[in-house]
Amino acid sequence: MKKMMGVGALNLALNELMADDPKVICVGEDIGDMGGTWTYFRGLKATYGTNRVMQTPISESGYTGVSVGLAYGGYRPVVEYMFADFATLASDGIVNVAAKARYNSAGALSLPITFVFPQGVGQAGCQHSQTVEGWFANIPGLKLVAPTTPADLRYFLKAAVLDDDPVCFFFSRPCAMSIQEEVDEDDKSVPSLTNAAKIVKEGTDLTVIAWHSSLLKSIKVVEEVEKETGKSIEIIDPRVLCPFDKEKVFESVRKTGKVVIANEECERGSFSSHISAWIAENCLKDLKMPVKRVGSYNTCIPFGQVEQFALPQEEDIKAAIMSLL
C-alpha cells in the first residue's frame, strides 16, 4: 500500500496500461518532458518514447481527429484536454465520429478511445473552470466515467482505457491534486463500468448522491448533520454516469424516501437532472418529499476567489439536507 494523490494514481494506471499493452498510447499538449500540466504523464515519455507519448500542438480538433484514426487502426489512445472546457474545440471528433462508430458500422467496428477531461474550479475563470459531464450526457455511443478518490481514479481509468467503446473520463482537478489515499499497488483488478455505484456510507433517513468536490463536501456535511439531528444518511458515489447504476440508487431511495443530489455543474441541464428524473419515474411512490438538487448557479464562473459565490458550498448542501429532514 502506498499513500498518493489522485494524479499519482492516474500516473500509476497509465504506467500499468502502457506496460501491459503496446497499443496504449497517450496524446495531448505538454505531456512529454513536462509530464502534463497536471503531472500525471510524468516519466511516461522517458519510459515509453515519443511514439507512444505524443505531445501535440495546440490544436484540439487536430489531435482528436488523429487519435480517432489511431483508434480505428487498433490503438487505444488516451487523449487529454488540458482543461475540460476545451472539449468544445474537439467536439466534432468526439460527438460526430467516435460516438457513432459502432452505429455507423452496424456493430462491426469498435472504437477503444478514452477522452480525459480534467475539470473543476481553481480561480481560473469561466473558460477553464467548468464542469462538463452534462454536455456529453445526451450523446448516444459515449460512456461517461467520473471517479473521485485516488484508488477509484486508478481503477476506473484502467477500465475506461480497456473498454472497447469511446469513454469520456472526467476527474476533478482540485480533488486529484489535494486528496491523499492508500492505494494498493499490487491489486491489478479492473472494475466493470456497469453497476459501478459505491455506497460510501449506509443510512436510512435520507440519500445523498454526489461526486467529485461535492462528494467530499457531502461527506463532511453528513457527519455534522447526523451529530446534530441523530438521523442516518446514506451517501452514494456513482463513479460511472453512463451506464448509470440506477438500481443501486433506486434501492436506496426506496429505503430512505428522501434524496439530495449534489455536483458542481450548473443546475440547469446538469446530470443531476437526469438522476432526478429517473428517480421520479421509478420511485415516485417511495418519495416522501421532492428530490433536491444542489448545483452551481446558472452563470459563468467568475475569475478568482469570487468563484465560490457561483458554486455550491457545504452550507448549500447542508441546507438542502436539513430542508428534507
- The per-residue pLDDT for range 94-147, each reduced to its tens digit, is 999 999 999 999 999 989 999 999 998 877 888 899 999 999 999 999 999 999
Closest C-alpha to 113, from 142, 136, 156: 142
**Lowest-confidence region among 41-50, 94-103, 126-135, 240-249:** 126-135
Bond prior to 174 in cis (omega within 30° of 0): no
Q: State which fold the 198-324 domain adopts.
A: Rossmann fold (3.40.50)
Q: How confident is the model at residue 221 (pLDDT cuts 50, 70, 90)?
A: very high
Strand partners, 220: none
Torsion of CA 187, 191, 195, 198, to 10 degrees: 40
SS3 of residue 128 by DSSP: coil
**pTM, whole model, 2 decimals?**
0.96
Q: State which fold the 2-183 domain adopts.
A: Rossmann fold (3.40.50)
Average pLDDT over the chain, rounded to an integer: 96
Residues designated catalytic: 128
Answer whether 2-183 and 198-324 agree in fold: yes
How far apart CA 267 and CA 93 sit, in angstroms, is: 27
Q: What percent of the chain has pLDDT over 70?
A: 100
Domain locations along the chain: 2-183, 198-324
Per-residue H/E/C for 269-313? CCHHHHHHHHHHHHHHHHCCCCCEEEEECCCCCCCHHHHHHCCCC
